Amino acid sequence: MKKTKKIVVISLLISLGLVLHLVESFFPLSAVVPGAKLGLANIVSLIAISLFGFGAAFQVVIFRVVLGSLLAGTFMTINFYLSFSGGILSFLLMYLAYYFFKEYFSLIGISIIGAVAHNTAQITAAYFIIANRGIFYYLPFLVLLALPTGFGVGLVSFFTLKHLPYSITGGNFNDQKSK
Amino acid sequence: MKINDILTLYDKILIGFVIILSLILLLIPFYYFGSPAEGEELILKVQQGDELIKTVAVADSYDEPIVFEVEGPIGIHTIEVNQGRVRVQEAPADDPLKICEKTGWVDREGPIIVCVPNSLSLWLESTNSDIDGMSW
């Protein structure tokens, strides 16, 4: 893929991630379990990982988190650190899982790994701030909820990659069959 | 295309593992708290950072609701104790997610209400339990 085209696709993914981040806030999952969310922005991270590998996907994640918090007015506040820690840890684990275990896990499994890592990182970061171990009470609920949301996110990424035109994927995914 | 064409065996193992792990984690609070015994009284503890700033006996709230305010870096929380239950009545306007307000009423040991931006946490504790919220 040409360099210009790559830059355009990356910036499209970033803006898609920002919009999904916004759409996500319309679903008040926090009323069910405090701190829960759909993790729709993970769709873009997954697509970026499987299209470009580490460098570009890392850019997508960093820019999404920083720009998202700038737009929401929470840059450099505690909410920013929470979403930053969750975003980075889930990205790293998803990348490692994709890089080393691509033959074993489908995108659904990788997305579930990312969702669980996101919740664990956020709860741990929150624990360091409020210094109350009782917050881990919510961890199993969040992890259970991460299963359906991670499943959905993985499925969306899978079908998105499947239907992307050949010029973007380079034919890597159009005929992809999972074992 | 069926879902089984996409899911791999290792995906299913992963899903099963996560379910079992979280179910085990779910049972831990039951082991610690159990069911409330007779004559047990609940007290509300409010903590900011690692400092306990307020304790309220929940039994006092049956006659009339107790409402008090806690101040933090991003604003003032209004906390209401009413009929043996507790909630954050109003979170500060600067709190973008307002998770503590959305948590709603808490009437037993176990769940805690947290406001991470204000490093505030409040939870109910039984007077005759030998462990406290910090010990698990």
DSSP line for chain B? --HHHH--HHHHHHHHHHHHHHHHHHHHHHHHH-SPPTT--EEEEEEETTEEEEEEEGGGGGTS-EEEEEEETTEEEEEEEETTEEEEEE--TT-SS-HHHHH--B-SSS--EEETTTTEEEEEEETT-S--GGG-
Q: Are A49 and A94 spatial neighbours (Cβ–Cβ below 8 Å)?
A: yes
Lowest model confidence (mean pLDDT) among A124-138, A162-176, B82-96: A162-176
∠ Cα B132 B134 B135 (to 5°): 75
* Mean pLDDT to the nearest integer, B34-44: 68
Q: Is B66 exposed, middle or buried (0-12, 13-18, 19+ CB in 10 A)?
A: middle
* Whether B18 contacts A117, CB under 8 Å: no
Question: Which of B5, B8, B97 has its CB closest to that of A30?
Answer: B97
Distance CA A139, CA B95 (A): 22
Question: Does residue A179 carry a pLDDT above 50?
Answer: no
Question: What angle (nearest 5°) sits at the alpha carbon of residue A81, between those of residues A80 and A83?
Answer: 65
Which has more pLDDT, A103 or B126? A103
Higher pLDDT, B32 or B35: B32
CATH number of the domain bearing residue A88: 1.10.1760.20
- The reply to whether A39 falls in a domain is yes
A112 with B111: Cβ contact below 8 A: no
**Percent of chain A at pLDDT above 90?**
55
Whole-number pLDDT of residue B34: 62
Can you read off the two tokens belonging to residue B10? 């290792």
The confidence score (pLDDT) of residue B17 equals: 94
- Beta-bridge partners for B126: B42
Residue A99 lies in a domain: yes
Residue A72 forms part of a structural domain = yes
Establish if A106 belongs to a structural domain. Answer: yes
Burial class (CB in 10 A: 0-12, 13-18, 19+), A176: middle
Residues in chain A with CB shorter than 8 Å from the CB of B103 are: 34
Per cent of chain B over pLDDT 90 is 12
Which residue, chain included where needed, has tokens 């994640």?
A: A61
Please indicate, yes or no, if residue A174 is contained in any of the structural domains.
Answer: no
Mean of all residue pLDDT scores within chain B: 81
Structure tokens at A73: 């007015």
Q: How far, in Å, CA of A178 to CA of A101, rounded? A: 13
Q: For residue A67, is it within any domain? A: yes
- Domain-embedded: residue A178: no
- Going by pLDDT thresholds of 50, 70 and 90, the confidence category of residue B94 is confident
Predicted pLDDT of residue A170: 73
Q: Give the tokens for residue B104.
A: 């709603």
A137 and B49 within 8 Å at the Cβ level: the answer is no
What is the CB-side half-sphere exposure of residue B88 using CA atoms within 13 A? 24
pLDDT of residue B132 exceeding 80: no
Contact A47, A157 (CB under 8 A): yes
CA distances from residue A47 to A91, A144, A154, A163, B22 in whole angstroms, order as listed:
12, 24, 10, 12, 28
Instruction: Please say if the pLDDT value at position B95 is more than 80.
Output: no
Tell which wins on pLDDT, B30 or A24: A24
* Number of separate domains in chain A: 1
**What's at B21, amino acid-wise?**
L
Please indicate whether residue B14 or residue A28 has the higher confidence score (pLDDT): B14
In this prediction, residue A90 has a pLDDT band, given cuts at 50, 70 and 90, of: very high
Pick from A84-88, B30-34, B48-52: least confident: B30-34
> pLDDT tens-digit profile of B40-72?
678 888 888 888 888 888 877 788 888 888 888
> What pLDDT shows up at residue B50?
81
pLDDT band for position B38 (cuts 50, 70, 90)? low
A89 touches A118 (CB < 8 A): yes
**Mean pLDDT, residues B94-110:** 82
d(CA B66, CA B61): 6
User: Which chain A residue shows the shortest CA-CA distance from B24?
Assistant: A140
> A106, B116: Cβ pair inside 8 Å?
no
Q: How close A79 comes to chain B (CA, Å)?
A: 7
User: Which pair of structure tokens corresponds to residue B53?
Assistant: 């700033």
**Which chain A residues touch B15 with a CB distance below 8 Å?**
109, 112, 147, 151
8 Å CB contact between B86 and A108: no
Q: What value does the mean pLDDT of chain A take?
A: 88
The answer as to whether A128 is a domain residue is yes
Query: What confidence category does residue B136 fall into, taking pLDDT thresholds of 50, 70 and 90?
Result: very low
Q: What is the pLDDT, as a whole number, of residue B102?
A: 83
Q: How confident is the model at residue A140 (pLDDT cuts 50, 70, 90)?
A: very high
Which residues of chain A neighbour B25 with C-beta distances below 8 Å?
A: 139-140, 143
Confidence band of B37 (pLDDT split at 50, 70, 90): low
A82: confidence class by pLDDT, cuts 50, 70, 90: confident
- Mean pLDDT in residue range A118-127: 91
CA dist B46 → B7, B98, B101 (Å): 46, 17, 15
Comparison of pLDDT for B101 and A146, the residue scoring more: A146
Q: Which domain holds residue A127?
A: 3-169
Predicted TM-score of the model (pTM): 0.86
